Amino acid sequence: MNPIRHELRLLMRARFAVAALLLLALLAAASVVAGLAEIRHQRQVIERIQPQQATDVAAIAEWVSKIEDPGSAAYYTFHPTWDSPSSLAFAALGTRDIAPYILRVRALGLEAQLYDGETFNPELALPGRFDFSFVLVYLAPLFVIALFHDLWSSEREAGRYVMLKSLSRGRQLWWRRAGLRFGFLYAALAIPLLTGALLSAAPVQPLALILLLIAVYLAFWALVAVAIARRGWNSATNAATLAACWLVLTLVLPTLSHIVINRAIPVGQGVELTLAQREAVNRAWDIPRETTMQRFFANHPEWRDTPPLPVDFHWKWYFAFHQVGDESVSGQVRAYRQGLEARNAAARTLGWVLPPVGVQAALARIAETDLDAQLAYQDRIRAYHSDLRKFYYRYLFNDLPFQPADFARAPTFGSSNDPRNGRHSGN
């Protein structure tokens, strides 16, 4: 009889092992379903804001077109931006539950708009999401431990160990058993993920990377389990030792490191940045308007040769001081961002030592749901916002009337300035 088939039969007869494998497959499948549902919801939200937004703009256009005032159009019109989830986002929802994936901006100061949050229930966000990355990072190791800890000790405790060891090719027996258990654990995780990826039409390359990541992570835990299981202790001691390893690697060290990283890399609070920007913007009302205009023209000479400011209020001054306000805090903006990136980089470096952290970070990177993806979305908003400014400035600085048809001429998000087009994001 084929020894592998024999082992397979033995494994299938162990009710405990079969139940564990089925449970893991079930949890993985449930997490994939939950992730897919969340991503579908996010796509629907992005979809459904478009007509609402169009109605909103139409209502503004209705009264602005009577006065044909570009300043009012620029001041009152909000423009939507969105960050469509990638087709693998379902596997690791990352920060998409706490950072906004839709945000509307207008041509005023961007630094006062960019950090706005989304409405979410913090009590739901606190425990973390039930997604595939959770099942893989936290739960899968427990199943590895359950199936591997007594590979040797169970035979010893059943009194068969000496007999099995004396068999020719006895060593192969353990590797066959370990390999078989590993294979089933892998299948329990990979098949649900693969199904989800097929359903959301994920591209092959990042998917293959995730499948490899699952194998490597499982292999790590299997090696740890084998290393402990071979020491000749009894089953209970093995299980307790492995559970302690799991506890330290997935809960204790990450939470300790979090404290260390946040203390070691202080992030100049975003609050300071917005306070400074507000001061800069509002000061414009208390200094000569020409001072503001000169500062603005210094950075944007293309608008210099336009009509001078009239005696009374003019919108172009208003928008100019908003932009000058943004530019006056550009150093702080850079420092703030670098602080965030440094914290993230530290966590990622830690991932090389703490596999759970490394896998979590890698999954979120591949799924494009991590901080990098969030910052990339902010960059796209910045680029789009700059297009919006240019669009309105043409009317403002040249005193062109803003007509109803001009509302449709405003740049839309996600066209030319979206580097994500043609990449593996859905939508």
Residues 146-165 that bind other proteins (CB under 8 A): 146, 150
How far CA 11 is from CA of 14, 22, 129, 162, 178, in Å, comes to 5, 13, 33, 20, 11
Q: How far is the CB of 22 from other proteins (least distance, A)?
A: 14
CB closer to other proteins, 257 vs 306: 257
Q: Which of 7, 11, 75, 130 binds other proteins (CB under 8 A)?
A: 130
Subset of residues 222 to 241 that bind other proteins, contact rule: CB under 8 A = 234-237, 239-241
What would the two tokens of residue 225 be? 């389990």
Local structure of 121: helix, strand or coil? coil
Q: For the packed helices 315-328 and 270-283, what is the interaxial angle rounded to 10 degrees?
A: 150
Subset of residues 329 to 368 that bind other proteins, contact rule: CB under 8 A = 339-340, 343-344, 346-348, 350, 356-357, 360-361, 364
- Which residue carries 């600085």 as its tokens? 397
Query: Which one-letter DSSP state was computed for residue 80?
Result: E
Q: How far is the CB of 291 from other proteins (least distance, A)?
A: 15
Q: How far is the CB of 366 from other proteins (least distance, A)?
A: 13
How far CA 393 is from CA of 106, 271, 298, 304, in Å, comes to 13, 29, 16, 12
| CA angle centred on 213, ends 207 and 216, rounded to 5° | 150
CB closer to other proteins, 250 vs 323: 250
> Which listed range, 3-11, 167-175, 275-283, 399-407, lies at the site for other proteins (CB under 8 A)?
275-283
> Which listed range, 301-309, 310-318, 324-332, 399-407, lies at the site for other proteins (CB under 8 A)?
310-318
Residue 186 binds other proteins (CB under 8 A): no
Q: Which of 10, 14, 26, 37 binds other proteins (CB under 8 A)?
A: 37
CB closer to other proteins, 126 vs 162: 126
Q: Name the residue type at position 225.
A: A
Residue 211 binds other proteins (CB under 8 A): no
Contact between 273 and 280 (Cβ < 8 Å) = no
3-state secondary structure 298-348: HHCHHHCCCCCCCCCCCHHHHHHHHHHHHHHCHHHHHHHHHHHHHHHHHHH
Bridge partners of 182? none
Residue 27 binds other proteins (CB under 8 A): yes
Local structure of 358: helix, strand or coil? helix
What's the first-to-final CA gap in the chain, in angstroms? 53
Q: How far is the CB of 166 from other proteins (least distance, A)?
A: 25
Cα-only R_g, the chain? 29
**Which of 348, 141, 355 shows the shortest CA–CA distance to 244?**
141
Residue 168 binds other proteins (CB under 8 A): no
CB closer to other proteins, 120 vs 175: 120
Subset of residues 60 to 119 that bind other proteins, contact rule: CB under 8 A = 63, 78, 80, 94-95, 98-100, 102-104, 112, 115-119
Q: Which of 275, 353, 400, 408 binds other proteins (CB under 8 A)?
A: 275
CA distance 188 to 25: 4
Work out the burial of residue 93: count CB atoms within 10 Å of its CB; fewer than 13 is exposed, 13-18 middle, 19 or more buried: buried
CB closer to other proteins, 372 vs 394: 372
> Which listed range, 165-173, 184-192, 261-269, 403-411, lies at the site for other proteins (CB under 8 A)?
261-269
Q: How far is the CB of 224 from other proteins (least distance, A)?
A: 16
CB closer to other proteins, 1 vs 311: 311
> Which listed range, 158-166, 220-228, 274-282, 394-402, lies at the site for other proteins (CB under 8 A)?
274-282
CA distance 95 to 107: 27
> Which listed range, 181-189, 206-214, 247-255, 377-385, lies at the site for other proteins (CB under 8 A)?
247-255
